[in-house]
Chain A
């Protein structure tokens, strides 16, 4: 796209470019408001004192007469095991990402590039597993989990989550591998690489975008689950954020709104930061370099 701008020497074209730019910004702004408003609302709620929160006459979009409070956040950190939950969430997510990559990348490659008997039915079979709702699948699964001695342990989630990250990530990786021009891989093989060598030296670096997407996807998905985390783990020191926050901050018919919202923000924002400001640049650097 940058190249396109460079070609635009004529004035008319640059005016058109400006208009397009404005249009893009306008579009992004609309998206940002739609996506961001609920998040902003979480933020306000997390720091607003209760009397203002329940005051119908108070201006809801900002802080009011009682100002800003750290009470909800303090409750989250001091009265619940939030730091432990956050740590657990991170452990589970990282482990799930590694396991997913370990299984999905080779399988995805095979699916995209290799022909062998039974591959098709098997891999389609993998995808089919999605069709059974986890809301019921967890009961039989819990039997297996408890047989291998992981019931009520963090390990149960590390074992269970790849069941829904691997199938999708395998197919996703296959898609990414297909966008790597076959000629490049072929050229490497002609140059004397074995197939595995070609994969390691050419195909994988070129598929880094895909791998990072898959990693982020697995990471996020492992934080999204609710039902497994809820039913497999109950000890406060083994809970992950979602379940910890929901099970200890909704008490019967009373919601601890501020703390709930603070928990949601702390769970969601770092991943978005990670994706936006770190991986994004990293990926762009690597793929850009490799291709050119």
Chain B
């Protein structure tokens, strides 16, 4: 009774009182959140709902302060966890982190309520994407099996190609059968399937305090109407992979720290050799989605309001980003970017023509075997900063998330598995070379597992600069469709193809609005 009362109340708050909360919530709620959460797990939605307004100031602050830490990695490395908490004081990240830090791993289980119990003899069928790092799949299969043996649970793991997950989920939803536990890969459909998924708020609250709280990104990911319908398992960061030798030849000792310099460098590199190009996909592919979000977000352009109801894509910042995209295309790309799928930029780097790309480390790692010369001369670069007053360092990334179907054989068993999986973070960090980027703050203590390698160290500076689609709101159903229909890369593509940047942006805005309105949002 108490629970439902709370929930209804919160829902009411969410829909009616957002403006009020925005005005007063920033200061009051973050401190309240972590302390009240343990006692009353159902209250958890509140912090999320109330911290969101605070995030207005946070991204800018976090993003602008982060570079400082990044440019002197040694200093940041020493004081990382503390620094993280102090450099972003206003941010949503800071409050829980700080709070958790004061009461470190003391009584984690108690803090989040009782841990879910496995049911002996239950079965657990898990659906995952065929991970880019095959070793992770091997690790996972083995781990899941041994976990099952220990708990007397019949565990079975299936892997399918990431692009085919939505179709499979649609089929399972229609059949009301299939797997028990699955992973959303990049395409987060938590809002779509909200009525068919198990509320994971309890394990969100259980796991969070154990590891110093969730990162800012993980906090909104999978949050639907105040409930955790999916929780982030890891993010896939999209650093800039670049040729050290080409940049050096053009007079740059390291990867440029901001976009204007990057443009300048790209121009110079190409002047030396016209085959040495860069590439951000302007095609219907997922890399196009987050690559251009990196640019737009860093320039300060946002897709929607924090409450996720208004489209805010049309702005001076977005316009500047689109114009920059056109300039960058002219300076450094060929028309091949129009034809790419997600592997197009990987191949650009592998061929030796690529001066830089914005991609998951997969392109870099595969080069080791497939193009050793390229590997030797390549490195991972930090997300550049955008110019202007709202500019910052914001990297568009892919988020993955756990979710459990309502018809799961035993939801508690599945939950227990998730909880245990987070405890293996060192293993999966190591086996993927940090490709699986953790969603919990304490996991960002340097050196991070799998990132000890000097070549990968810079990935440890990503905690506060990673953003999933839908900034400054959440990754909601409308954003899902914006993503699925590739509005962002196509908006830039239009400008590159000769439309005026203004017209391209207007087109983009109209697509956003059309989609938002179809989902019953004001747009």
Point out residues on A near B: beta carbons under 8 Å: 50-51, 53-56, 79, 138-140, 142-143, 145-146, 151-152, 227, 230-232, 234-236, 246-248, 250-255
Question: For the complex, what is the distance from the CA of A254 to the CA of B363, rounded to whole Å?
Answer: 8
Which residue on B lies nearest to A143, using beta carbons?
Answer: B174
Interface membership of B168, Cβ < 8 A:
yes
A146 touches B177 (CB 8 A): yes
A72 CB, nearest partner CB in chain B, Å: 12
10 more A-B contacts (CB under 8 A) besides A51-B372, A139-B171, A227-B167?
A138-B167, A143-B175, A146-B174, A151-B175, A231-B170, A251-B132, A251-B134, A254-B346, A254-B366, A255-B343
Cross-chain pair count, CB within 8 angstroms: 101
What is the size category of the interface that chain B forms with chain A?
35 or more
Interface membership of B514, Cβ < 8 A:
no
B352 touches A234 (CB 8 A): no
Interface membership of B387, Cβ < 8 A:
no
**CB-defined contacts of A140 to chain B, threshold 8 Å:** 174
**CB-defined contacts of A54 to chain B, threshold 8 Å:** 347, 350-351, 370-371
Question: For the complex, what is the distance from the CA of A55 to the CA of B371, rounded to whole Å?
Answer: 8
Main secondary structure of the interface of A (DSSP, over half): helix
**CB-defined contacts of B134 to chain A, threshold 8 Å:** 79, 251
Q: List 16 A-B contacts (CB under 8 A).
A: A53-B370, A54-B347, A54-B350, A54-B370, A138-B167, A142-B175, A143-B175, A230-B164, A232-B171, A236-B158, A247-B160, A250-B161, A251-B133, A252-B129, A252-B342, A254-B366
**CB-defined contacts of B174 to chain A, threshold 8 Å:** 139-140, 142-143, 146
A253 touches B350 (CB 8 A): no
Point out residues on B near A: beta carbons under 8 Å: 127, 129-134, 156, 158-164, 167-168, 170-171, 174-179, 287, 341-343, 345-347, 350-353, 359-360, 362-363, 366, 369-372
B171 touches A254 (CB 8 A): no
A253 touches B161 (CB 8 A): no
Indicate which residue in B156, B177, B179, B287 contacts A253 across the interface (CB closer than 8 Å): B287
**CB-defined contacts of B360 to chain A, threshold 8 Å:** 252-253
Which residue on B lies nearest to A140, using beta carbons?
Answer: B174
**CB-defined contacts of B352 to chain A, threshold 8 Å:** 56
Question: Nearest 10 A-B pairs (CB), nearest first?
Answer: A146-B175, A253-B342, A231-B171, A252-B132, A247-B161, A50-B370, A247-B160, A234-B158, A142-B171, A54-B350
Question: For the complex, what is the distance from the CA of A151 to the CA of B156, rounded to whole Å?
Answer: 16
Indicate which residue in A79, A236, A247, A254 contacts B362 across the interface (CB closer than 8 Å): A254
Which residue on A lies nearest to B236, using beta carbons?
Answer: A252
B158 touches A235 (CB 8 A): yes
Question: For the complex, what is the distance from the CA of A236 to the CA of B161, rounded to whole Å?
Answer: 12
Indicate which residue in A56, A146, A232, A253 contacts B359 across the interface (CB closer than 8 Å): A253
B370 touches A56 (CB 8 A): no
